[in-house]
Structures are given as C-alpha cells and as structure tokens.
Amino acid sequence: MSADCMDHIERFRRYTEDFQDVPDAAPLRLKVEHTFRVFDHARAIAAGLGAEPSSCRFAADAEACRAAELAALYHDCGRFPQFKEYRTFLDAKSVNHAVLSFKTARDEGFLAGEAPRVRALALCAVLLHNRHALPSHLADDARFVTDVVRDADKLDIFRIMVSHLTSALPERDAVLLHVEDAPDRWTPKVADDVLAGRIARYSDLRYVNDFRLLLGTWMHELRFTATKKALVESGLMEQVLSQLPKHELLRPALDKLHAMLDQCRADAEGRN
Ligand SMILES: [Fe+2]
C-alpha cells in the first residue's frame, strides 16, 4: 500500500471519530468496518485485474486504480452526517447517502491533494455507487472505477445481509427493512427479475425470501473475477439458495440462480 493511501486512511479515521463520540455509536462503528472491508475488496480487485478475461478487461491505468481505491474508502462517508441528522441509514426516510457522500468528500477536501483525473473519477464513483442502474453514457474509465466500488460494496453487503438472514441479531429488522418472515412466501415480481436478468428493487421486497432472491440477482451485475471468486469461496450464495422454498412455482428462478452461481464458479476458475 502506498504511503499516500495511509494518509487517506488516517484522514478517514479522524473524520469518523468525531461522529462516534455519542452514546449509540455502534451502527457507525459497523459503517467504519464496512468501509475498510470494501476498501480491501477494491484493492483485491485492482490487484487481480491481470486475471480478467480480455473480453471485459479495461486497460486500467494507475490513476484509475488509485481512484477506485480512494472511492471505496470514501464511498459511504455521507453515512456519518446522515446518521447524525436523521438517526437512520434508510435513504428513503432521510437523504440519498451517495449524494451526501459525494458532497461530503468534495466539501471536506478529502481528495484535494490528488490529480484532477483521480479526483473526478473517485467522486463520480462515490456519487453513482448506489444507483439501481448506471447511466449508459459513462466513459470507460469512470465505469471501471464505479464498477470496482459497486462490486466491492456488494460483496460486503452480501456478507452483512446473509448474517442477518440466518440469525436473530438485534439489528435484523433494520437491515432487512422490516420485511415479513413468511418461510413459504415470495413476491412473483422479484422472481421475475431473476429470470429476466434484472437487479431486484428494494422497494419490491415484502418477504425475507425476496431478500434472498435480491441477493441472487446481484450476480447479474458482478463484473470482476476477484469478486466472483470471493463470492464462490465464501459459500454464502449456496447458503442463501438452500434457504429458498422448494416450491414448483419458484423452481425456474432457483434453477437460474444455480446456473448463475455455476457461471461465477467457472469465471473464477478461468473456465469460460
Ligand atoms: Fe453506500
């Protein structure tokens, strides 16, 4: 890791410490941990670019890789002022946290010492990291940086959500957005998203099984081999799929998700 990245890590830590000086800082500490996991994933993706198949390899230069790592570090910096003001991480009940992260990173001057292109690419990725879909006109380098952050972010959100799907942690309801735990039910629209190759929308989720299907639809969007490899090695997707109901009507979606996981495994092992 470069000395400059250490400066950024220190800057991020100092920035978050002020917000954590409150009695109920546990959710903020989890956001700090999430940030460093996303940062580590982003670095692993950048380090593994040589293993990408040539068909989807963007010729990432040093500036683009640096922008991706810094964007991963600052992608959720708006979560801290969001929680301070609204006491929630629910964007629908407060503000779009990616927009707030963009404004915070810009106004705090987190990237002030960086080359203009690094700064622009990193801020763009911070702003777009939670979009349901990315704009079609993004330049290749901006898409690359944004995709690194989105892949890395998904990987860690996946870990967090799966831990809540399988246990009774106190924050379970908040993480799963208060959906209903009806073991045999799911929303047909979300199963249709699986079959149509779409990412499911949070606003369509009604049951815990919908969450499982949503996590499955994220496989539609994963771009990098390092992410697929980490997902396959974690065993978390198998776990999620095994918890879905074995109902005849859900069978096509379940078969599709298993096929997508097999494809992830093949990509991770370089069998294309
Ligand atoms: Fe985020």
pTM, 2 dp: 0.90
CB neighbourhood size of 154 (10 A): 21
Same domain, 40 and 136: yes
Distance CA 119, CA 107 (A): 13
Instruction: Kindly give the distance from the C-alpha atom of residue 157 to the centroid of ligand 1, in angstroms, as a whole number.
Output: 9
Q: Say how many Å lie between the CA of residue 108 and the centre of ligand 1.
A: 18
Q: Report if residue 169 sits inside a domain.
A: no
The whole domain housing 257 covers: 179-268
Q: Does 16 share its domain with 146?
A: yes
Q: What is the Rg, in whole angstroms, of the alpha carbon atoms belonging to the chain?
A: 19
Distance 70 CA to ligand 1 centre (A): 14
In a domain, 162, yes or no: no
Question: Last residue of a domain, which of 122, 155, 188?
Answer: 155
Q: What is the pLDDT of residue 177?
A: 60
Establish if 118 belongs to a structural domain: yes
147 and 189 in a single domain? The answer is: no
Domain edge (last residue) among 155, 187, 215: 155
Residues whose Cβ atom is located within 5 A of ion ligand 1: 76, 130
Predicted pLDDT of residue 223: 92
Label residue 196 exposed, middle or buried (CB < 10 Å: 0-12, 13-18, 19+): exposed
- pLDDT on residue 174: 55
Which residues have C-beta within 8 Å of that of residue 123, sequence separation ≥ 6? Answer: 71, 102, 105, 106, 111
Domains identified in the chain, total number: 2
Give residue 15 CA to ligand 1 midpoint distance, Å.
17
- Cα 13 to ligand 1 centroid, rounded to whole Å: 17
Last residue of a domain, one of 89, 122, 155: 155
The Å distance, Cα 224 to ligand 1 centre, comes to: 19
The rounded Å distance from CA 101 to ligand 1 centre is 8
pLDDT (tens digit, 0 to 9) for every residue of the chain, 272 residues total? 455 689 999 999 999 999 998 888 888 999 999 999 999 999 999 988 877 766 555 667 899 999 999 999 999 999 999 999 999 888 988 999 999 999 999 999 999 999 999 999 999 999 999 999 999 999 999 999 999 999 999 999 989 888 877 665 555 555 566 678 888 999 999 999 999 999 999 889 899 899 999 999 999 999 999 999 999 999 999 999 999 999 999 999 999 999 999 999 999 988 76
> Domain of 95: which CATH number?
1.10.3210.10
Closest CA to 131 of 85, 91, 181: 91
Q: Is residue 173 part of a domain?
A: no
For 102-140, how does the pLDDT look when each residue is reduced to its tens digit (9 = 90+)?
Answer: 999 999 999 999 999 999 999 999 999 999 999 999 999
Distance 169 CA to ligand 1 centre (A): 21
Residue 166 lies in a domain: no
Is residue 119 located within the same domain as residue 205?
no
* 150 and 15 fall within a common domain: yes
CA 208 to CA 45: how far, in whole Å? 30
26 CA to middle of ligand 1, Å?
A: 17
Q: Are residues 81 and 31 in the same domain?
A: yes
Is residue 171 in some structural domain?
no
Task: Please indicate, yes or no, whether residues 137 and 252 belong to a single structural domain of this protein.
Answer: no
My answer on whether 145 and 25 are in the same domain is yes
Distance 247 CA to ligand 1 centre (A): 34
- Residue 222 and residue 125 in one domain: no
Distance from residue 76's CA to the centre of ligand 1 (Å): 5
Ligand 1 centroid from CA 162, angstroms: 17
My answer on whether 129 and 258 are in the same domain is no
Question: Ligand 1 mean position to 248 CA, how many Å?
Answer: 36
Same domain (yes/no): 134, 254: no
Q: Separation of 189 CA from ligand 1 center, angstroms?
A: 25
In this structure, the answer to whether residues 254 and 142 fall within a common structural domain is no
Question: Quick check: is 107 in a domain?
Answer: yes
Give the number of other Cβ atoms within 10 Å of residue 4's Cβ: 12
Cα 130 to averaged position of ligand 1 atoms, centre (Å): 6
Residue 93 within a domain: yes
